[in-house]
Chain A
Amino acid sequence: MNADKKAKIVIIGGGPAGLSAAAAANEAGAAAGDILILERDNVLGGILNQCIHNGFGLHTFKEELTGPEYAARFVSTVQERGIPYLLNTIVVDISVDGDGSKVVSAMNRTDGFFTVRADAVILAMGCRERPRGALNIPGYRPAGIYTAGTAQRFVNIEGRMPGHEVVILGSGDIGLIMARRMTLEGAKVKVVAELMPYSGGLKRNIVQCLDDFGIPLKLSHTVTDIRGRERVEAVTIAEVGPDRKPVPGTEETYTCDTLLLSCGLIPENELSSQLGVELSRVTSGPVVNESLETSVPGVFACGNVLHVHDLVDYVSEEAANAGRNAAGYVEGNGSEGKPEEDGTPVQVIAKDGVRYTVPSSIRIGRMNDLQLIRFRVGAVYRDASIAIDFNDTVVRTQKKRILAPGEMEQVILKKEDLQKFEGLKTITIRVDTSEAKKQ
């Protein structure tokens, strides 16, 4: 197949993950001109451009930045390094050619419909918000129901208010941030309802976005009805039982003109799935090895397309890793390089309250001296431990005052420990609750 353009590394997405991956790939030796970032929006920076609140960059820059400021630093780096990018460009397909190279089909107004042949592809498409339909909320379908992110765009980018009397379903961070934002702009946020018995958002956001403004957070509550034929007029909220089903008789109706939804984020893996990348049922993101390489050799994934993060700093860090590994791959150190040195991949298994791990396999020959394993737990645990087993042997336990689904956790493995362990086949990460209280 003839391609219209060529690149060694094509990065799909010019948000925080894509930008960091590009800079790191260049730093690791890939020539700037051999990298190409394809971005669907008309600017680089992705969703950070509308995240005008602060709290970004504490890990990366040791200072507190707003989303646009954080994005601007990475955009500058990419521009200074002369890494090419195309804006307003949507990727419609990725396929693997007979020789193992990837063909990326894309289009934009200037170049029309075109293909790019690449040795490696980095998936950095981010995630989307779970919409009303997927939540199965009964009622009418009037105007005035938005995901928190859509409302955020209206207010912060367009300077428009989606409404002035607001109910929010879901206590994800974007919902909490928007509760404050709408309040600052003169709206009345009446309540935030959360289906689960705990919030999915960061503690700091609950205090500074809700408590500061006296906005009630109702845990174990959900929306059971939406009224209003043209525009939202009222929303009914009810308590849910342990089965997460509404408890009859607990309904309360709030008059409002807007319902915001902050009920979770879903990695956008339609392209990955078409390409044949194996996806995790838990994260909805690709299954990756220590190099953040997917089941398709030479295709890497990072950021929220891989698994949803809480902190952009971790996205940048992870993406830089993917960028370096992609640069290594195109330099010929890729997975087709010297498989005999890699050995059989060690499987990383999530168990007992740990929902998933990234990565989910490690080739010892390929790993760095230190390997970061990121994961999330499925419930709130107090005074539990994170245990690491090599095969069936407990090799480490780490006490944790608190573990919560809303906070990503990590452990670091040493290469020498893995090398020393005879016949290592599996590494299990689990929550040890023998001394713990589960909430």
Chain B
Amino acid sequence: MMDVIVIGAGVTGCAIARELSRRERSILVLERGLDVCEGTSKANSGIVHAGHDAKPGTMKARMNIEGSRMMEALSRELDFPYRRNTSLVIGFNEEDRHTLEELKAQGEVNGVEGLAVISGEEARAKEPKLSAGVTCALFCPTGGIVDPFLLTVAFAENAAVNGAEFRFGTEVTKISGKEGAFTVETADGTAFQAKRIVNAAGVYADVFHNMVSAQHIHITARKGEYLLMDKKTKGFVNATIFQCPTKMGKGVLVTPTCHGNLLIGPTSVDIEDKEGVNTTAEGLADVVEKAGLSAEDLPTRQVITSFAGLRAHEDGGDFIVAEAADCPGFFDAAGIESPGLTSAPAIAKYMAELITEKDKAPEKTGFKAERKGIPCMAEATPEERKALVAENPLYANVICRCELVTEGEIVDAINRPVGATTLDGVKRRVRAGMGRCQAGFCTPKQMDILARETGRDLQDIVKSGSGSQLLDGGKFESTH
């Protein structure tokens, strides 16, 4: 019998697991994928939103502001890439200026600091690549960017170090029972017992909620397509550039990533298929066209990859972070769409408070709040490189040459708590294969390392999910 089962190892589930691990309780995180960050958390803009978009008084507004305020200290505590790069919401006409003034007022009610509506010239002085048609902008000094993978990995690793258990490839199929004695059944036939359940299942959160509650919720998968450009584009913009928000979201943005790539997107299209993470010709063309309104001379020739993610949009339009009214002991973190990444630390903190009110678990002595990330040879100074290589010669053996990722870093990614078991898992932790050749050269080498470190045959190495084997047999019996 676990004290708490968390369903879903996205950023919300992992953040909650970490917060829960501050107190004496047994925690089990069940995840359908083979790694953390396999759903909504892996395909988003990586933005730490300032907090002017959400309607005052909503859960979104509250969690956004609090999460945004927590992020910087958290990035030091858990050692993940975060940068306060500021943001600009741009306008092209008087109507937009009016919208920006409203956003500013709304942001101030929400508690966002330092907002200012500036002129087109002032905006271009900050960001010279801004389109000539920009006549006004809302400047947000507290806007930031974060690496969504490493944020999630950091939460998960730290939760694991503090005793939380993770089970991957474990798809929940049925939930029954009541507070103090829930039974969670999974696709492989295993059943787990828990006193309480946290539902952080992204686009599937409605499915699990509706298994235990008569007060149904409904989540729509809202697709967003993105294009990512080579690091050569570093410095194209420094701030995150938003357009005026619409009913469907914050529109197409142009932003640097924490690693110096340029990211444009997302589209916003409601779809039926909760697995529909395919990109489309129309969607990608739409992104390029809309992003082209924000900035001049977008370096679209430098595109290295495109991807699509699904926002978990609940019909009510707000986050649901609460105990189900008709099912005590079942806690939802549902409808976590943008600004969900920003809000994750705050949602986790709030969720932990809700659960502590119920279980009164005592604080854990020896809780380790700090976590150190994997060293990054690519960004290390020559002196740091020398020191790292002296410590472990594998840090001198470069596997991914585009991103300068070494064998040492890949071995770390695999062998750390909640370590990588898949090629995508390695990529997200240390960026191997994320560069301009998109793993053309290093895929075979990474697979060799994964096979060696996890004691598996090459044949069993997968890209991401359990059916995503990279090879289909060997030429000879003896090599399988």
Chain A residues lying within 8 Å of B437, measured Cβ to Cβ, are: 128-129, 131
How many whole Å from A140's CB to the nearest CB in chain B?
Answer: 5
Are B475 and A90 in contact, with the CB atoms below 8 A? no
Q: Which of A149-157, A314-322, A395-403 contacts B (4 or more CB under 8 A)?
A: A149-157
How many whole Å from A331's CB to the nearest CB in chain B?
Answer: 31
Are B382 and A230 in contact, with the CB atoms below 8 A? no
Are B398 and A161 in contact, with the CB atoms below 8 A? no
B470 at the interface (CB under 8 A from A): yes
How many whole Å from A345's CB to the nearest CB in chain B?
Answer: 29
Query: Are A108 and B473 also in contact (CB < 8 A) when A133-B303, A138-B281, A143-B468 are?
Result: no
How distant is the Cα of A105 from the Cα of B443 in the complex, in angstroms?
A: 25
Q: Which of A109-117, A355-363, A368-376 contacts B (4 or more CB under 8 A)?
A: A109-117
How distant is the Cα of A113 from the Cα of B404 in the complex, in angstroms?
A: 13
Are B462 and A40 in contact, with the CB atoms below 8 A? no
Partner of B444, one of A90, A92, A153: A153
Are A109 and B305 in contact, with the CB atoms below 8 A? no
Are A109 and B397 in contact, with the CB atoms below 8 A? yes
Are B305 and A132 in contact, with the CB atoms below 8 A? yes
Query: Are A131 and B475 also in contact (CB < 8 A) when A90-B401, A112-B386, A112-B389 are?
Result: no
Are B475 and A159 in contact, with the CB atoms below 8 A? yes
A-B contact count (CB 8 A): 144
Chain B residues lying within 8 Å of A132, measured Cβ to Cβ, are: 305, 438
How distant is the Cα of A153 from the Cα of B458 in the complex, in angstroms?
A: 14
Are B386 and A146 in contact, with the CB atoms below 8 A? no
How distant is the Cα of A257 from the Cα of B444 in the complex, in angstroms?
A: 18
Q: Tell me the B441-476 residues at the A interface (CB within 8 Å).
A: 441, 443-444, 458-459, 462-476
Are A143 and B463 in contact, with the CB atoms below 8 A? yes
Are B306 and A136 in contact, with the CB atoms below 8 A? yes
B277 at the interface (CB under 8 A from A): yes
Query: Are A164 and B228 also in contact (CB < 8 A) when A112-B396, A128-B437, A147-B440 are?
Result: no
How many whole Å from B402's CB to the nearest CB in chain A?
Answer: 8
Chain B residues lying within 8 Å of A267, measured Cβ to Cβ, are: none
Encode A134-148 as 1/0 by CB contact (under 8 A) with B: 101011111110110
Chain A residues lying within 8 Å of B283, measured Cβ to Cβ, are: 138
Are B467 and A230 in contact, with the CB atoms below 8 A? yes
Chain B residues lying within 8 Å of A150, measured Cβ to Cβ, are: 439-441, 443-444
Encode B111-135 as 1/0 by CB contact (under 8 A) with A: 0000000000000000000000000
How many whole Å from A53's CB to the nearest CB in chain B?
Answer: 16
Are B279 and A138 in contact, with the CB atoms below 8 A? yes
Are B471 and A231 in contact, with the CB atoms below 8 A? no
**Most B-side CB within 10 Å, residue of A133, A143, A225, A258:** A143
Chain B residues lying within 8 Å of A147, measured Cβ to Cβ, are: 440
Give how many B residues have a beta carbon under 8 Å from the other chain's beta carbons.
Answer: 55
B192 at the interface (CB under 8 A from A): no
How distant is the Cα of A159 from the Cα of B459 in the complex, in angstroms?
A: 11
Query: Are A134 and B304 also in contact (CB < 8 A) when A107-B389, A153-B444, A160-B475 are?
Result: yes
A162 at the interface (CB under 8 A from B): yes
Query: Are A140 and B470 also in contact (CB < 8 A) when A112-B389, A113-B389, A150-B440 are?
Result: no
Are A162 and B307 in contact, with the CB atoms below 8 A? no
Are B396 and A162 in contact, with the CB atoms below 8 A? no
Nearest to A258 among chain B residues (CB) is B472
How distant is the Cα of A69 from the Cα of B473 in the complex, in angstroms?
A: 28
Chain A residues lying within 8 Å of B369, measured Cβ to Cβ, are: none
Nearest to B462 among chain A residues (CB) is A143
How many whole Å from B266's CB to the nearest CB in chain A?
Answer: 15
A158 at the interface (CB under 8 A from B): yes
Are B467 and A154 in contact, with the CB atoms below 8 A? no
Encode B351-387 as 1/0 by CB contact (under 8 A) with A: 0000000000000000000000000000000100110
B390 at the interface (CB under 8 A from A): yes
Chain B residues lying within 8 Å of A88, measured Cβ to Cβ, are: 397
**Most B-side CB within 10 Å, residue of A141, A229, A258:** A141
How distant is the Cα of A138 from the Cα of B307 in the complex, in angstroms?
A: 9
B284 at the interface (CB under 8 A from A): yes
Are A158 and B404 in contact, with the CB atoms below 8 A? no
How many whole Å from B400's CB to the nearest CB in chain A?
Answer: 10
B296 at the interface (CB under 8 A from A): no
A224 at the interface (CB under 8 A from B): yes
Chain B residues lying within 8 Å of A257, measured Cβ to Cβ, are: 472
How many whole Å from A384's CB to the nearest CB in chain B?
Answer: 30
**Most B-side CB within 10 Å, residue of A154, A246, A273:** A154
Are B472 and A159 in contact, with the CB atoms below 8 A? no
Are B479 and A113 in contact, with the CB atoms below 8 A? no
Chain A residues lying within 8 Å of B468, measured Cβ to Cβ, are: 142-143, 230-231
Nearest to B380 among chain A residues (CB) is A113
Are A138 and B465 in contact, with the CB atoms below 8 A? no
How distant is the Cα of A140 from the Cα of B280 in the complex, in angstroms?
A: 9
How distant is the Cα of A24 from the Cα of B396 in the complex, in angstroms?
A: 30
Query: Are A161 and B472 also in contact (CB < 8 A) when A131-B440, A149-B440, A153-B444 are?
Result: yes
Nearest to A47 among chain B residues (CB) is B441
Encode B256-291 as 1/0 by CB contact (under 8 A) with A: 000000000000000000010111110110000000
How distant is the Cα of A162 from the Cα of B473 in the complex, in angstroms?
A: 7
Are A134 and B303 in contact, with the CB atoms below 8 A? yes
A-B pairs with lowest CB-CB distance, top 7: A133-B305, A230-B467, A131-B438, A143-B463, A90-B398, A143-B468, A112-B389
16 A-B pairs with CB atoms under 8 Å apart are A88-B397, A90-B398, A132-B438, A138-B280, A142-B463, A143-B468, A146-B443, A159-B474, A160-B473, A162-B470, A224-B281, A226-B278, A227-B278, A230-B465, A230-B466, A231-B468
Apart from the given pairs A133-B306, A133-B438, A158-B479, 18 other A-B contacts in the complex at a CB distance below 8 Å: A40-B401, A108-B396, A109-B394, A112-B390, A128-B437, A128-B441, A134-B438, A138-B284, A143-B464, A144-B470, A154-B471, A158-B458, A160-B473, A162-B470, A164-B473, A224-B281, A231-B467, A273-B232
